Structure 1
Amino acid sequence: MTPLLRLAAMPLMIALAAPAVHAAAPSEMAALAKAEDAYARAVSGGDLAALAQTLSDDLVYVHASGQVQDKSQYLQGTADAGFPVRSARVIERNVEIAGRIGVIVGIIGYDVGKGENPARYLAVYRKEHGRWLLLRWQNTRLAQAGR
């Protein structure tokens, strides 16, 4: 193959070697959003078993304070604190899915007894045995006007 022909064929070779990127089906995106809604209900519902069912065994949960917990630590801490979150409401979410991994960036409103406090969050879900489970979570408080 001549150098000129190799150069001309390079874009085709790169395109063929690159992994295909497909948009997730709307039904899959809706299923992921539904899983996240189940997590939001469970975290404020006082039902440890329901909360555990929304979490991957490989969970890494990073609180706004910087505290890092695995699944058992997160569940134990939530139970020990008496389910401090009274309500959790997803205010905004942007969903992306690549294969078995779903990433959500959004804003969630937590009420821990002092009114709703919004936080920006990054959540990573993994599809395990046909279900979307929370794999990674990190959030940071949003500044509110007047504070």
Structure 2
Amino acid sequence: MKSFLLLCCVLSASFAYAQSSADEKAVLDIEKQRFDAQITKNYTVLEQVLSDDLIYNHSNGNQDSKQSYIQSIKDGKQRYDAIEAQEQKVRLYGNTAVVNGICQIKATNNGQSINTRLRYMDVYVRKGSQWQLVAWQSLKLAN
């Protein structure tokens, strides 16, 4: 009986770890899709990945909603040329994932070229089978 209980515990822990690893990978995949969509102006992907109640706090102190952020890309106020993830760590809390990372951004913001490193924190929530970004904050790092 003790062997059976031990086997059940080991199998349960193994399943939980496998699920956790799969969720971490799914969140990192969504993060990459979002970065690519920002560069290629793929509004369909941005509409899917960004939650309707997104709050994005930019490194310059400005704040955007999903709608205003996507509109800034459409209007050409915000243009991304490259986003290179340098560090990423995912922590899972049930249906919520927190991503802490560092990335190199090459972009144009209101006509001004930007080439900077950012430390960022993203909060994703799983809604059904889809992970969506609900909060996003970045901070400029010294180059």
TM-score (norm 2): 0.79
- 1:50 is displaced (CA, Å) by 2.0
Runs of at least 4 residues off by over 3 Å = 113-116
| CA shift digits 1:71-91 (9 cap, x unpaired) | 111111121126511111211
Matches for 1:1-147 after TM superposition, within 5 Å: 25-81=20-76, 83-112=78-107, 116-144=115-143
The 8 Å contact of residues 90 and 107 in structure 1, kept in 2 or not, is answered as: yes
- SS of corresponding position for 1:25: helix
Range that drifts further, 82-91 or 51-60: 82-91
Q: How many angstroms apart in 1 are the aligned matches of 2:127 and 2:85?
A: 23
TM-score (norm 1): 0.77
Q: Which has the higher strand share?
A: 2
Range that drifts further, 51-60 or 114-123: 114-123
- 1:115 is displaced (CA, Å) by 7.2
Report the CA distance shift for 1:95/1:125 in structure 2 as closer, same or farther (over 3 A): same
Q: Which runs of 5+ in 1 are unaligned?
A: 1-21
Q: Percent identity?
A: 27
Structure with max Cα Rg: 1
Number of aligned residues = 123
| CA shift digits 1:107-126 (9 cap, x unpaired) | 01111165742100010001
Q: How many angstroms apart in 2 are the aligned matches of 1:70 and 1:102?
A: 20
Q: How many angstroms apart in 2 are the aligned matches of 1:45 and 1:51?
A: 10
- SS of corresponding position for 1:136: strand
Q: Which runs of 5+ in 2 are unaligned?
A: 1-15
